[in-house]
Structure 1
Amino acid sequence: MYLYLWIVFAGLILLTAFPLISPKNRTKWKISQAIIVTCSVILAVFVIEFLQIPPFLPIIFVVIVSFLTDRSTYTKTGLIITGTVVILLGAGAYYLFHDDPDYVENYMEDHPDLASLHVSVDGETVISQQGEEKRPLASVVKTIIAIEFANQVAEGAIDPEEPISLSELDKFYLANTDGGAHPAWLEDMKANNKITNDQVTLHEVAKGMIQYSSNANTDFLLGKLGADSVNRVIETLELEQHDPVYPLVSALLASPYLNDQHDGNLSDRELEEMLLDMTMEEYRELVWEIHEKLNNDEADFFDESPSVSMDLQRIWSDRLPNASAEDYAKVMAAISNNTATIPGGEEILRELMEWPMEVHESNREKYAHLGAKGGSTAFVLNQALYAEDHNGKKVELIIFTEGFSFIEQIKMNQNMNSYMQKVLEEHF
């Protein structure tokens, strides 16, 4: 996923190690420099690939280590240069990571074609900015699957305590494609002793889909519950702009699958054209075909961690199920008002959606209920939530944003939670 970055890192290692070919350069300092820089690069690669840390901070770490191990840094000129670089890095880090909720608000005001905002208070719309525009939902769509899960538990169609083999979930897991969501959920299951004989309960699978946003759990549940049943939720809630729900993981494999069907001879540009030429109906059919191959262990057309270019990822992101902010205001209001499910499913659904109440004590102090589902790709950042204070006042807040540059994406991710808190405080 970071091919060019790995090439730069490899070049940095070679740059520090190459002088050691000459015996006269094999001083303790040069040898130590090569070892330390190599170790810093290995550490950076580890935290990026396995801990899913965004690459910006590891890159800064490697740059600083390289400066500190370079003997010329400790000359007068070197100290001036190093000091200047440190100041610039510090200023850049402050700009990127300091708390700035107004950044999100300004982005939405400056890019109305790329952002939707909807706020309802006690059933009345108080803010609607591009609320009717359809936008990619990313993981926010998992709310629809959670509603159908609660319905089927309530009607006795599924048993929430049914043991599910982790190997069944692994069929739909693609390494390094979900921001560490699925591995983080598995770690939580292990830490809380919720894995027995390599199995977890169906209820825990659903919780992992919502709280951790595991894509593997999502695609498993979509197959378990049935696509037709899940998509009937859209009709029942009268969501006028909502696309049909289909597998997320299998969609990411559309380009490797098509390439495999052409003996691996297609360029990225040719794959882009093939995908864009498909109607959404054809595209969804392709995705379901891939889903069945994953489910039947017939997916030998990709490596464990597929390499998908950013342009192909953008097509995947854009073609994820779309809906409007107004649609999800309806969804969140229905959950808040206990009308999203059949009778008996209300508490089941709340228990899934209201994970912020469980993990943050401050939320329990402020709210009687707080449920949320976010969603993001490299090009999308969304949030949908409902909240009710201890006096019974209710607010629904929906934010759909897209179209970022790399820096904008960092800033939006950094400040989205602060902005949501600011909006909630303004309406409670």
Structure 2
Amino acid sequence: MNNGVSSSHLVLPHKYAMGEPHSYMVTEVLTEVDAMPDNGGMSQNGHLKWKINEPKEVLNENGKRIYLKLFGKLVISLVCGIVFGFAMEKGRVFDPRVIRGQFIFTKFVMLKMFLAAGVMSLFLMGILSVIPQTKTLLQVTRISLVSTYSTKGLLTTTAGGFILGVGMQLSGSCPAMVLVQVGTAVGNGSACVTLVAGLLGAFVYGLVEPYLTKLLSPKKPLNRLLLDDYLPIPFFVLTSAVGFLMVAAVVGLEFAYPWKEEVQIGNETVGCLFSEFAWPPYVSGVIIGCLQVPLILFIGNTIGGSQSYCTIVSQLLFTERLRAISPYLSPYARGIGNWWQVFYVIGAILGGLFSALASDSIASVPGVGYAFSFVGGFCCIFGARLAAGCTSGHGLSGIGSLSLLSFAAVPSMFAGGISAGFIMKFSVGNIDDYYSI
């Protein structure tokens, strides 16, 4: 075992380890003991005891304190979302032209930001794993994350990632990016079309999920889902090694494709940091990666966005009969483990808006055609739910946690986007049309 308990030795109790939906959260690591029987809300496995909040949590004598604690978690989620949206807008990664350009290798702003955020996620999770006060909580958070993949296999993850990548290329967006696009008024409403289509994608996936699970789930799911379960190397050493490789990639990309030439910021004006039109994408990426720390320490979770779509559409299931239609969506309706991410994505919309207003660039970025926005938005969320994670969930949190399925999901996302990108490029012929249709 490395840094505490490996996923092969620490498995969530069966009633919680249902893969999706991820409607619980680890709220408090209580103690390390040799053995302790399960007693309701308290669960024990190996040497680690933890406490899980269920959606049906009821008030006790400390009810007021519980509500204040939950309110504090939602405020932290909102603030983290605002920082995420602000940094994403300043990095210019939300521009559909940047996303589509990445997939035909003409723009590398998105990849630089993505790699920088991944580096910080790896580095900071590695630090948390060696601090005595945080290493157990970090390990439980990692297990909570990979438990959402318990019904997934390599086929499901890569297929979902590929569909998500196609959707990213078509819409020029992704599950988290579209929120910043809505806040910055991208494309005369095309971002809103992408968002609505994403909600529809989550609803449709909720209806067909039982059939897809039966069809695609592996007959023998993986028992060990983390890289350090297979290698006798400490988690911190592994995250450092992967992080250094990613740093080298960022440096090489910046040397070959300077960011100022890619975003075409034009004449620079002297102003404060917050009013600047653009920041280096790797600076924005570092800021986004740093959000892992408050989310892990105070929320007991990691950066992600696509689950919030399920929480929102689950509100349509307001009767028992409707909930029976989608057993996948119904558990998303309640619980802090679901709603923290909704506050996070609301914050992302506000952060993008605040950043664009500060630089006087609101509604200045063109979008893609409404048809591509709709089809792409649907594919983004449908694919993300099939893969059990999006570019943030798999790309930042999954890679940062050294999740093996995330190492498969991320390349499949790029494969989907690259395939769709070159097909469209050769179909339209004109590069300007490629960026705008």
TM-score, normalised by the number of residues in structure 1: 0.25
Give the number of the structure with larger relative contact order, counting CA–CA contacts within 8 Å between residues 6 or more apart: 2
TM-score, normalised by the number of residues in structure 2: 0.25
